[in-house]
Amino acid sequence: MRRADDISFAGRLRRYFAANHDEYLTADDVALKLDCTRAQAMRAIETLRYEGTVETMNIVRAVVTAAKVGS
């Protein structure tokens, strides 16, 4: 019999980090790896952060915008 944690996104993410403990992933990366939405990935990340399994940090990146007219 499978436990709910065996198939949950948080459980899958927990197993991923157990096997790949040196990885850094964005929420979008997690969504791709778990084949889920970004919102589901964020809930999985928050679950693991709450239990102390992962830590999160903010990153800053440039926003791609359309070229300004007349530039």
Structure confidence by residue, pLDDT tens digits, 23-50: 999 999 999 999 999 999 999 999 999 9
Total domain count, the chain: 1
In single-letter form, the type of residue at position 24 comes to Y
**Quick one: pLDDT at residue 11?**
95
Cα→Cα distances 53→14, 27, 30, 47, 58, Å: 7, 16, 15, 9, 17
Mean pLDDT across the chain:
86
Cα→Cα distances 59→3, 27, 32, 35, 41, Å: 34, 11, 19, 23, 17
**Quick one: pLDDT at residue 4?**
58
Confidence of residue 63 (pLDDT cuts 50, 70, 90): confident
pTM of the model: 0.74
Tell me how far the alpha carbon of residue 22 is from its chain's centroid: 14
Residues of the domain holding 66:
1-71
